[in-house]
Chain A
């Protein structure tokens, strides 16, 4: 492993990319802290409810969001290089012969690439520590869950980059292929919130970012974990096949096609797994405990049909709040958006039924146009013949934090200066060519 780690960690480009990622993450972090501080000022002045001041949403998620960006755009440069330079230098084949197996070589390279790429995640951790030191609140468990999502994302990026490197001849080709893969995921996400892109809705299940986003809510989803692991495993399998330089390209292509078909089937299957666990502080991603107990006690299947377009803010509110919480409680609930299936979205908008939310519990049917969490859940329970439970939530106090003055300057200095320069400095020392004289 020393040889592979040296190629990954003693390369200047690795540390340069890490410094760039630190700058990007630092910028996102400082913007998030400033916005959160501004909102916190209002909360402390009484204009906003302090309990709405959620650092997971206000600081952790935006910071990790930039890590996603860095992983997608810069991760392949670090990860693919570990294999690609061997190919460009003409030493890959001799190395495989020396080690005895292309698979062993590739797996070692994968580990080394994962170590190097994890440098892109470190600045976020450092920023959150800085926020904590500046007086902000960071819950370790929900932050660890959000970070788990980034680690799984890193696994996918590294595996795809290694696969791209295994199938191509040069570093440029490999990095381009890996970035294009990630951008495809972004393209799918671009459909969110646009009725005109409703046709992309069916592809949502294939977006890497969509699966990672679950963790950023402090929720551990078994489906997303399985999906990201299967995607990583599939990319590793493709990499192993791609690296088999002793096989004819036609044979490798047939095996790769078989792996792809199996992977697609597995991804589709695990994508259906909705079981998830709320690890947020005070379980605030869930409905109140009594409501959860009441909903789980409903024996009949629950179905919700929402007649709202993708670009309707009410729908986005429903999806991020009550529907997410309902699915967390009842993963078996069926949620449908019939307008997504229609090509003519304008006709849907003019339909008299637009805005209707139909709730089916067994044979009972209820209908509403309200997007209120309480109203919808009450209708579900009413249709099930259950009484309305206690809606008291465990008290989440909220954590407004105003980072200003010296603290703000120190945080900004760390984010824009210290962390990137620390990476650059470390890189200069580590990558220094030793002349031995």
Chain B
């Protein structure tokens, strides 16, 4: 067996700073051979990014790593800076997550790529040689325009910047590339290109690649083997094909099941209750025991070791022998598909927007977009960044004023809020509310939950005593009203945001990417909550998302926006299964794990099963 390029054993990352010692990663091991792509999959708080940094000795001050990290057999964790610097970039390289902050804004792109190149004698290259190299390497990452060499990062799009970053990381031809969420900050179409590029580069250079991601679909599609991290500990390892088909750990199962399926709508998404704990809280037991449906005393007695469960596979579930068949059964269960709701078209739409146009300076955000929302409907607005979907939502809410077009919400003309009289404006505001994307900044950090919700209730003339009931409605205990947002997890904060939105008893709620900032396991909880509230309270939704799977689950009809224009619309099943417009088609194909063949197959299966 070939010697592994990179081998990590028992890696532990702790924070020594401050009064409270924290463990970021409890025990991490992995093996990477040349030509392989392995994926480290984990949600927030799993410690995956810190693992990458620890390998290169780039942990932020205050964090300390212990254990073994071996590159080509040599220990590198304890190396002095000088030796480590030779390895960085030259043998092992790292590409960061956010292309908008990864590059030095004051340095031209070409310079980023060639600044570390040296000739055979170790001296700097001549000017001409530098330029040639820069052009060549940029072409290698798919940038054919030689003018990019002289451009600054701010002149390029996110996808281009990521390519430049890749070229820079590969400048000294390393054998190992660690890509930390290389596509998370990008649109799904760009994401696909970048991941494909990575594959090409790996094949051409014979590198080993470690792909760090929170997106299971990305991992399955791009990695040979995956390592599943949860709360700082490894819970499962195995080839991605096998892990996907048959997970051997309850957490992996939970993750797989709570991913909203792209190809069909389900009545209720399976979800994992609770949220990810900190490693110290569960260090003495199975890290997943607090949320596992199969938990027993043996799970909380001691941390289970990672044991081989099958050839090439390992699992840290101590009860695996007993529950294996149950896990397999659950995986195979087809969650009940949602029946097609025949909602009668309402006579007067709740929202009607015609030819809405908006520009910011010379940038056209919306170019004549029209849409409708019927009572009780959930309508999706789908698009990538720059499509105008957020602008449209803000226009509906009155947070932006469109330059042109007409918007009617609940019978009130809404495109010029300032011109309305106070009473009408108040009625409008109470008719339509919003849930934002980022749970961390959508609640005022200095106010208690109770105060924030009480204020919302007051706007609707409802008594403040209703706060407790409101919290219960979104699945939170009434005691939370005394807490401040900092004490809540992301999912809990999002529930509070939803509570605030329903407090005024609106008719429409605009959900602006309400789950994209959440972990997958929590995402499903929130989507279920939103669906339940819709039925209970008779709400209608305008659902903004870039995630087609979420759109499939959460909406009845969908509008597809591209660069400010409406390119397609229709019932969500039709649009996603049989996209008419080329852009929609491209969008659907770009979703990881949804090749055309799979889509067609799924559609066929559904028709065979007699309707959905």
Task: Answer yes or no: are A and B bound together in one complex.
Answer: no
B interface residues, Cβ below 8 angstroms from A: none
